[in-house]
Chain A
């Protein structure tokens, strides 16, 4: 099969000491940002981006994607040992992971979490390996209207499926689009929205927004909650690992279900966070030990972790094939790809064959490397959290400031980071989502290009978005997703009404 051939080619490309070293460094950095409060996967990738500009794209993407896997693993360490989710997507892991650690089963909980995470990730990579070429081939036929419809679908899904109030999601998203619009107009080359301010000429970069919103905003929230790290001790011995592994196969159904949920939510822009919650509640509904959930049931750790990681990896599928990231971190990586001069989308599979398959191959290897590294370093990273907050916090802030500065070597960006930090604090407290803002800031220019091209084709007629069955169904799907909360309410109402009339009939 051609996929296997390509994969082997990719493997031979990345099996060098340099790339393996980058993987370990990436994973270690990832675990570090995953463990530290205030730094997370999107943030870590944004901080590392400026350092990758001089690297080969393949090496750079290996470093960044391994950081992503590491951050996902690191998030589970804090959830289980400290009851503090290092990442929003590992909130569901705290429900049963922390009780397990309190019962003295920290080692089992961590091993189960990491192993199921690896299996979940592998499911995502398999999906990527065997589906991506087909999707890319299919998407080759897309022209501007189709692309805009796909973007529209992604953004409407965000609005429709988000737990946050829809209007707030719209506000966050539009701020992102507005940021992307500032500076040079990519079509006409004209300067716009700069209001004669020299610092706005080069536009507002999404990295600074990510660092401020996620980093500084998170720190401020942490301080307000007066967080104290009181962690459980973890001892991972080979015996514990083997004992846990022996127990895991009996949860294969939970694993399969969670991996499927994860893949689905990762490909659609539901994201890892939604996936882990959904998979946890499904596991509880179908489990035989339902009443033990919440008090340290290993199934309650396996389910969210598997879904979290399979969503995290499969989020790269739409990013590579269509140029639409499935999560905030994937969005930042997409921005990186564009900075390196690559064009995410179906043409990537033809023009950058080595890059794509190197990345996919590195995902197999990177996740295995992650598991080994994370099992070996848990005690080390757990001890990092015991460092007093008054040391950790200013260092994190310094790293954020330097990261913001190094994007364009500009001090204004550091100031902007502060503004975004305050905004991130308010956003988080008032229930505005941050991910749509990042997504829109990264995709804004591409979405605008697609829209304006379509308008050029049609002389300004919106009907072009219904001009053929493909684009028409995409646009309709987008509108359905947009109105999903209303539709769901309507269907529910109808169902109860029907149920009532039926009951009356029978009576």
Chain B
């Protein structure tokens, strides 16, 4: 639902076509993978690829159907999929998430989360929302601490601590 005075970025039909091609490719991958392990009838009945092969076939056929519909109804699908400004806003959230996810294996979940939440709030402050520096420092740390307590301590699901974990074990090793 883009705003009215937002310049269109891309027409809906192109996104429809793109997604249909993507799902068709997924179907193709399923078919290819199933063919590799055998889709026929083995000694013990149907082989492992028997069922996924037809799933892949149905997926590709339905995707091609969607593709066809998108091409046929091109007039109806000419309206904007998303406005430029709206999409910029989506990217402003999506790109940080991607960076956050990419940084996680190295930094560990806690440090990455603190930086992610802090960065988000810092950007909002620059954009004119009144977060005080103290809030920006406190909330991310509290969130990380809470997730440590809930997951690692109470429910015994250890989260990857990354650099912080290395640091903790290093400090632990220093002690005599």
Contacts and interface: CB of A to CB of B under 8 A. Distances in A.
Interface residues of B, number: 68
B129 interface: yes
B52 A418 contact: no
Contacts of A282: none
A451 B45 CA distance: 12
A425 B90 contact: yes
Nearest to A455: B46
Contacts of A395: 117, 139, 143
B78 interface: no
A390 B131 contact: yes
A172 B23 CA distance: 9
Given A175-B59, A224-B90, A394-B121, A402 B66 contact: no
A220 B157 CA distance: 28
A105 B44 CA distance: 67
B133 interface: no
Interface in A68-114: none
A51 interface: yes
B15 A219 contact: no
Chain B interface mostly? helix
Size category of the A interface is: 35 or more
B59 A452 contact: no
A225 interface: yes
Contacts of A54: 155-156
A411 B26 contact: no
A248 interface: no
B141 interface: no
Nearest to A169: B62
Given A390-B131, A391-B139, A167 B52 contact: no
Given A174-B59, A391-B139, A220 B90 contact: yes
A418 to B, nearest CB: 5
Which one of A178, A451, A460 has the highest number of Cβ atoms from chain B below 10 Å of its Cβ? A178
Given A188-B48, A224-B89, A390-B123, A397 B94 contact: no
Given A224-B87, A397-B100, A455-B46, A178 B120 contact: no
Interface stretch (A189-197, A272-280, A348-356, A499-507): A189-197
A357 interface: no
A429 B82 contact: yes
A394 B120 contact: yes
A185 B45 CA distance: 13
A240 B96 CA distance: 45
A224 B59 contact: no
Contacts of B172: none
Nearest to B44: A188
Contacts of B46: 187, 452, 455-456, 460
Contacts of B81: 429
Given A174-B55, A402-B159, A418 B19 contact: no
Contacts of A255: none
Given A390-B120, A395-B117, A192 B48 contact: yes
Contacts of A452: 45-46, 50-51
Nearest to A166: B62
Contacts of A388: 124, 129, 131
Contacts of B94: 220, 421-422
A417 B19 CA distance: 18
Interface string B41-60: 10011111111100110110
A418 B65 CA distance: 27
A470 interface: no
Interface in A142-181: 165, 167-168, 170-171, 174-175, 177-178, 181
B71 interface: no
B14 to A, nearest CB: 11
Contacts of A426: 15, 19
Contacts of B120: 390-391, 393-394
A133 B140 CA distance: 50
Interface string A197-214: 000000000000000000
A224 B131 contact: no
Given A402-B147, A405-B159, A409-B158, A193 B101 contact: no
A294 interface: no
A390 B121 contact: yes
A51 B100 contact: no
A455 B45 CA distance: 8
A174 B120 CA distance: 37
A448 interface: yes
A249 B142 CA distance: 47
Interface in B1-46: 1-3, 12, 15-16, 19, 23, 26-27, 30, 33-34, 37, 41, 44-46
Interface of B: 1-3, 12, 15-16, 19, 23, 26-27, 30, 33-34, 37, 41, 44-52, 55-56, 58-59, 62-63, 65-66, 69, 81-82, 86-87, 89-90, 92-94, 97-98, 100-101, 104-105, 109, 113, 116-117, 120-121, 123-124, 129, 131, 139, 143, 147, 151, 155-160
For the complex of A and B, the 7 pairs showing the least CB-CB separation, nearest first, are A390-B124, A174-B59, A394-B120, A170-B62, A185-B48, A193-B33, A181-B52
Given A174-B59, A402-B113, 12 more contacts: A50-B157, A167-B66, A181-B55, A223-B92, A226-B86, A390-B120, A390-B123, A409-B158, A409-B160, A430-B12, A430-B16, A455-B46
